Amino acid sequence: MPDTDIDKESFTAGAPLEFRLPVDAVQERLDKALARLIPEHSRSRLQAWIEEGHVLVNGRPGKVKQAVHPGDELIVWEQQPPESQAFAPEDVEFAVVADSPDWIVVNKPAGLVTHPGAGNWSGTLLNGLLYRYPELAQVARAGIVHRLDKDTSGLLVVARHEKAQTHLIRQLQARTVSRQYVALVHGRMGRAGTVDRAIGRDPRVPVRMAVEPAIAVKPAITHYEPLRMGVADGDFGVCGVACRLETGRTHQIRVHMASLGHPLVGDLLYGGKQIAGAQRQLLHARALAFDDFSDGGRKAFEAELAHDFAAVLERVQWED
């Protein structure tokens, strides 16, 4: 093989795959040639390996669209798929409010994904839990029983063993886990109320949820109470709102508030605007209560607003 200045330590350890194109090979793009030679890997994955420098052509880093010819030597360092890191322990920053032999109450920061999924296979709360509490590797989903959206801050509870997880899940199903949120919404809300509207996938925008009509709808109930009114950035009416969930559907508070004509400030997906410095939907899981697995006693916790949320509230001109 020709000499090269490539740092071999940058490649994944282990023997690479080596190919020499036969003399009767047809000239074609590198990614197409690899897709034919290594059909067990998707073409998009092979393109990513090429772009990341894990493929050499005649000793030099390959390019996705470059042509390869008869006699060319191809070397490929196979990479683990991103999803292979989904349950790898990682040192992820998050605050633990309290824990016991049965449960952990976490104050999740905004910006942290709760559970691995497409586009977020690592660096999640689950990865951090496995790092800090290794025994959670023996519990389904590392003990996570409910989630918060990436850009929602606040409290959630994690089970430390299977029996405690079942106990918490049954409480969620019986709607005896108390979950209270605070939000800042657009407009003026005159009185407290309840939104009882099923939620499903938006048929027009796959990343959105919607009230009926929608796809695969499930019952959803949110109780809300306006706390105080104000004005932001001179002419945007806003309202602080307390919300209590009976159910826990994806984006539930965001969808229900938007259905009332009061989208959350900062929630661009559901019609909110980034005013008063808001860089994400202003939603915080403030209070959480559940029955303890060991003694049956009621456990209750509260978490102060995240700093960015509090900073937005300081820029609002509140009414007396």
Alpha carbons 157 and 15: distance in angstroms, whole number: 44
Vertex 34: Cα angle to 31 and 40 (nearest 5): 120
Three-class DSSP labels, 163-226: HHHHHHHHHHHHCCCEEEEEEEEECCCCCCEEEECCEEECCCCCCCEEECCCEEEECCEEEEEE
According to DSSP, residue 117 is labeled: B
Q: Of 31, 72, 149, 202, which is the active-site residue?
A: 149
- According to DSSP, the β-strands at 153-159 and 283-291 are parallel
Residue 74 CB coordination number (10 Å): 21
Asked about 149 being catalytic, the answer comes back as yes
According to DSSP, residue 304 is labeled: P
Taking a C-beta distance cutoff of 8 angstroms, is the pair 279, 297 a contact?
Answer: no
Alpha carbons 170 and 161: distance in angstroms, whole number: 15
Alpha carbons 180 and 192: distance in angstroms, whole number: 14
- Ramachandran quadrant class, 59 (left: phi over 0; alpha: psi -120 to 50; beta: rest): left
Alpha carbons 306 and 108: distance in angstroms, whole number: 10
Q: Which residues are designated catalytic?
A: 149
